[in-house]
Amino acid sequence: MRKLHYLAALLVIGAPAWVAAQQASPEAEQATAAAQVDEIFSAYDHTWTPGCAVGVIRDGEFVLRRGYGMANLEYGIALSPQSVFRIGSTSKQFTAAAVVLLTQEGKLSLDDDVRDYLPELNDFGTPVTIRHLIHHTSGYRDYLTLADLAGWRDDDYYTDADLLDMLSRQRELNFDPGDEHLYSNSGYWLLSQVVERASGESLKEYAAENMFAPLGMSATHFHDDHTEIVPHRASGYAPTGDGFAISMTTLPMIGDGGVFTTVDDLLRWDQNFYDPSVGGAEFIEHMVRTGSLNDGEKLTYAFGLGVDTYRGLNMVSHSGGFVGFRAEMIRFPDERISVICLCNRADANPSRLSRQVAEVYLGDRMEAPQPRGQRAPRAQPPAMVALSAAELAAFAGDYYSEELDVVYRLSVAGDDGRMIYEVGSRRGSVRPIGDDVLWSSNLQFRVERNATGAITGFQIDAGRVKNLRFTRVR
């Protein structure tokens, strides 16, 4: 009995605090949430590091918009919601939006063969359609991977004409169009060229006139000229052993990336998904329509947007990353809450950060997080097989790729099974890992022989590039 009286007393004493918590003002709730977000970005909130700009939108209005860290370390300029960031592949939704608007104008169809607009491209027998490009089911090899394989360095400069020439030399796709889903920057860069040929304007011009200006996104543009002055631009940075180094690009490619924008401007883009002054309801329906494979398998990739769930809530999102920039924009359409996270440091993970922010505002509506399993052990290099000196020497030689217009040189670096490949200024070690299979980091060389057993060439697999053929020339 005494125990019950004691518990009752505790409940009475605790009641005012509980009632106060339940009656907290919206302002107090926002302040509490903002403090939690500040804690998430505390590691970036310094005057000596780059960082992130963050916006949280509820019912079409910001409930939080802040900058953490510096936009420019040389001049001591802090990040803010008006800072202009390169957003990498988060740009893809704007390219897809331009395509949708052109379909509404009757200037193209999603089922058009891309060669109707770009006849320079090789005919692979089965048409690659605009829809294939949109959903990453085209089979086109990724151009950034191709450039890397060609020995082009990150700071090398090449043009749209160079890139179209390279893609036109490709004699094989990664797979038959529509058979698989494999992310490819080539597809969205090709869409930028389709937009230009279908509309008579560059993607930069078309997007400015038909999306950015009508929505009042005055700080947003496709950046196809590295000499263009951009007010309030944040510099991109990559971490070094003792600080940060500038990490920017001079490449003019857009479509797969290339949008410069701000947290404040992305509010206007987000609003258009609920009240579509650009494109109307049909436009929004198109943007979130996911693709499918030839066998009927449904994808979660729509028009430059991923359509999926997160902890039980429907979510629309796309991340981006290039040189010293990382970006993420996630939208929970049923809750009318969106999170924007734009960062100017290459070691940032805005996908993780933005979901942490979403949990601050939506945690009580989310399902419990799945328990974390044991972290998978770090992948080890494949075991090397022992070959004789003569067997190793047989691989040495020069190999030419017509598709890349480069020569790879294989040479024996020692009698312990180490070999070297060289292309341009690129150089890497190669090890035999099986019968006529060589391995180097993310590359696999599949050696080919003729009927007499002589080595005639090899094919390279490199993630987003498959079956890239090289012929022995020496």
Q: What is the pLDDT of residues 311-332, one digit of tens each?
A: 999 999 999 999 999 999 999 9
| Tens digits of residue pLDDT in 90-144 | 999 999 999 999 999 999 999 999 999 999 999 999 999 999 999 999 999 999 9
Bridge partners for 70 per DSSP: 50, 78
| Rounded Cα–Cα distance for residues 82 and 85 (Å) | 9
| Rounded Cα–Cα distance for residues 104 and 285 (Å) | 12
Maximum CA extent, the chain: 97
Backbone angles phi, psi at 444, to 5 degrees: -125, 125
Residue 381 lies in a domain: no
Residue 403 lies in a domain: yes
Supply the angle between the helices 350-362 and 26-40 in degrees, to the nearest 10. Answer: 160
Is residue 425 within 8 A of residue 153, CB to CB? The reply is: yes
pLDDT of res. 386:
86
pLDDT of res. 279:
98
DSSP 72-117: ETTTTEEP-TT-BEE-GGGGHHHHHHHHHHHHHTTS--TTSBGGGT
**Same domain as 314, residue 199:** yes
| Sign of the dihedral defined by the CA atoms of residues 316, 40, 90, 217, in that order | positive
Type of residue found at 88: G
Is residue 22's pLDDT more than 80? no
CATH of the domain at 463: 2.40.128.50
Cα angle 213-214-216, degrees, rounded to a multiple of 5:
60
**Same domain as 393, residue 357:** no
**Same domain as 443, residue 354:** no
List the end-to-end C-alpha distance of the chain, in Å, as a whole number.
97
Type of residue found at 142: D
Task: Please choose, from the candidates 283, 282, 322, 281, the residue with its C-alpha nearest in 3D space to the C-alpha of residue 91.
Answer: 322
| Sign of the dihedral defined by the CA atoms of residues 113, 114, 120, 121, in that order | negative
Is residue 110 within 8 A of residue 127, CB to CB? The reply is: no
Residue 56 lies in a domain: no
Residue 32 lies in a domain: no
Residue 213 lies in a domain: yes
| Tens digits of residue pLDDT in 36-71 | 999 999 999 999 999 999 999 999 999 999 999 999
pLDDT of res. 234:
98
**Same domain as 198, residue 271:** yes
**Same domain as 213, residue 153:** yes
pLDDT band of residue 10 (cuts 50, 70, 90) is: very low
pLDDT band of residue 17 (cuts 50, 70, 90) is: very low
Q: What is the pTM of this model?
A: 0.92
CATH of the domain at 299: 3.40.710.10
Residue 17 lies in a domain: no
| Tens digits of residue pLDDT in 218-251 | 999 999 999 999 999 999 999 999 999 999 999 9
Residue 430 lies in a domain: yes
| Rounded Cα–Cα distance for residues 319 and 168 (Å) | 29
**Same domain as 330, residue 398:** no
**Same domain as 415, residue 349:** no
Supply the angle between the helices 160-168 and 185-199 in degrees, to the nearest 10. Answer: 110
Q: How many domains does the chain have?
A: 2
pLDDT of res. 271:
98
| Tens digits of residue pLDDT in 363-402 | 999 999 888 776 777 778 888 888 888 899 999 999 999 9
Among 365, 398, 425, where does a domain finish? 365
Among 300, 332, 365, where does a domain finish? 365
pLDDT of res. 1:
39
Question: What length is written for the chain?
Answer: 474
Residue 375 lies in a domain: no
pLDDT band of residue 156 (cuts 50, 70, 90) is: confident
**Same domain as 191, residue 94:** yes
Tokens standing for residue 454: 């002589």
Range in 6-15, 146-155, 432-441 with the lowest mean pLDDT: 6-15
Q: Tell me the average pLDDT of the chain.
A: 93
Is residue 149 within 8 A of residue 243, CB to CB? The reply is: no
Tell which wins on pLDDT, 143 or 426.
143
Query: How far does CA 217 lie from the centroid of its chain?
Result: 22
**Continuous H helices in 119-274:** 130-134, 143-149, 160-168, 185-199, 203-207, 263-272
**Continuous H helices in 304-435:** 350-362, 389-395
| Sign of the dihedral defined by the CA atoms of residues 322, 325, 326, 327, in that order | negative
Q: Residue range 429-435: average pLDDT?
A: 92
| Rounded Cα–Cα distance for residues 278 and 213 (Å) | 10
Among 302, 332, 365, where does a domain finish? 365
Is residue 358 within 8 A of residue 344, CB to CB? The reply is: no
373: helix, coil or strand?
Answer: coil
**Same domain as 284, residue 328:** yes
Range of the domain at 118: 85-365
What lies within 8 Å, CB to CB, of 386 at 6+ separation is: 417
Is residue 6's pLDDT more than 70? no
pLDDT of res. 4:
38
Tokens standing for residue 147: 């450039």
CA dihedral 135, 136, 137, 139 (to 10 degrees): 160
**Same domain as 187, residue 106:** yes
**Same domain as 416, residue 336:** no
| Rounded Cα–Cα distance for residues 455 and 396 (Å) | 10
Task: Please choose, from the candidates 261, 259, 191, the residue with its C-alpha nearest in 3D space to the C-alpha of residue 224.
Answer: 259
What lies within 8 Å, CB to CB, of 261 at 6+ separation is: 84, 85, 87, 217, 219, 220, 342
**Same domain as 452, residue 358:** no
**Continuous H helices in 203-331:** 203-207, 263-272, 280-287
270: helix, coil or strand?
Answer: helix
| Tens digits of residue pLDDT in 206-222 | 999 999 999 999 999 99
